Structure 1
Amino acid sequence: MSGDLLDVNVLLALAWPNHQFHEASRRWFRNRGGRRWLTCSITEIGFVRLSCNPAFSADYKTPREATVLLRIMLDHPDHGFVKDSVSTADETFVSVADNLQGHKQVTDAYLVALAKARGLTLLTFDRKIEAFCPFPDVVEVEALSSQLSALS
């Protein structure tokens, strides 16, 4: 399998026009050349959870509304779903976890391990992930960085 596993922050940016990286994420989406983009249970749940949080947006959604919004995105023909099948006991996860500094990085570490195990690229706005990722070919922040610079 090949394609981009979208981190929660990229999914949110795509869906929410008031997100600081909305334009950059839309530009990436338009210019991806038909490359598959993927989600997993963790990124989908994160999207729904944050979309329902009033601290995230004054226009927050109910869980039902957030789920409908996500479903509209997932109906795109280039979307795919990745089953969460990496165990925290797997060597791939352990090698990422060895570099973690704290509890807030555990979910990101899992997404890195999942992307590595499936031959995917984790697409994210979170530059901190690169600092603990032992697989430089797995995390892609650069695809968005030139677009982020253009917005500054």
Structure 2
Amino acid sequence: MNVLDVNVVVSLFQADHPHHEVASDWFRAAVGRGETFTVPDVVWVGFVRLVTNPRAFPVAATFDQAWAFVQAVVEKPSHRTYVSHPRALAEFAMLGKTARASGNLVTDSYIAGCAAAYGGTVVTFDRDFRKFDGLRVLELSS
């Protein structure tokens, strides 16, 4: 199962984002191959926070626009609703400690823990996920 990072979700949403085409091409191909994906709640919250922030995007989305996108994504047949795995917090703690996480890497550690608990692959544009030993990562590039 693919676990999407917030930068991939933002790129899918923002048609003028520099990574939109890469993210969209990957997403269409993955869904076309029947690959399943999930988005942890922390990623959805981060997505809505970012795309509605006028300091992050000159033309910020409204909450309703962002939420409509969330609803459209979760209705995809290959989407799996993220349910916290009993090992997710333990994986988060182990990965966070090993990577000496602080700041933004703490959230990345949690996303990594979510993926690791399910044996999934983090899909991201963020090179920081390389810091988590043994984690399966698909790093998209533009």
How high is the TM-score relative to the length of structure 1? 0.83
SS at match of 1:84: coil
Structure 2: any 5+ residue segments left out of the alignment? Answer: none
1:55 matched to 2:44: no
Q: Which runs of 4+ in 1 moved over 6 A?
A: none
- For the 8 Å contact 2:96–2:109, the answer to whether it is kept is yes
Structure 1 residue 79, shift from structure 2 partner: 1.1
Distance 1:9 1:93 in 2: 19
SS at match of 2:81: strand
Match of 2:96 in 1: 97
Distance 1:107 1:101 in 2: 9
Using the aligned pairs only, state the percent identity.
29
Query: Which residue identity is paired with 2:82?
Result: V
Query: Which residue identity is paired with 2:7?
Result: N
How many pairs were matched up? 137
Match of 2:64 in 1: 64
- Choose from 23, 31, 39 the match for 2:21: 23
Distance 2:58 2:73 in 1: 21
Query: Which residue identity is paired with 1:43?
Result: V
- Choose from 9, 12, 16 the match for 1:11: 9
Q: C-alpha offsets along residues 56-75 of structure 1, whole Å, 9 cap, x if unaligned?
A: 22221222221112212221
Structure 1 residue 101, shift from structure 2 partner: 4.6
- Structure 1 segment 76-91 matched on structure 2, within 5 A: 76-85=76-85, 86-87=88-89, 90=90
Distance 1:59 1:4 in 2: 29
Match of 2:138 in 1: 140
SS at match of 1:81: coil
- For the 8 Å contact 1:9–1:125, the answer to whether it is kept is yes
Match of 1:121 in 2: 121
How high is the TM-score relative to the length of structure 2? 0.88
Distance 1:111 1:39 in 2: 9
Structure 1 residue 102, shift from structure 2 partner: 2.3
Distance 2:80 2:71 in 1: 12
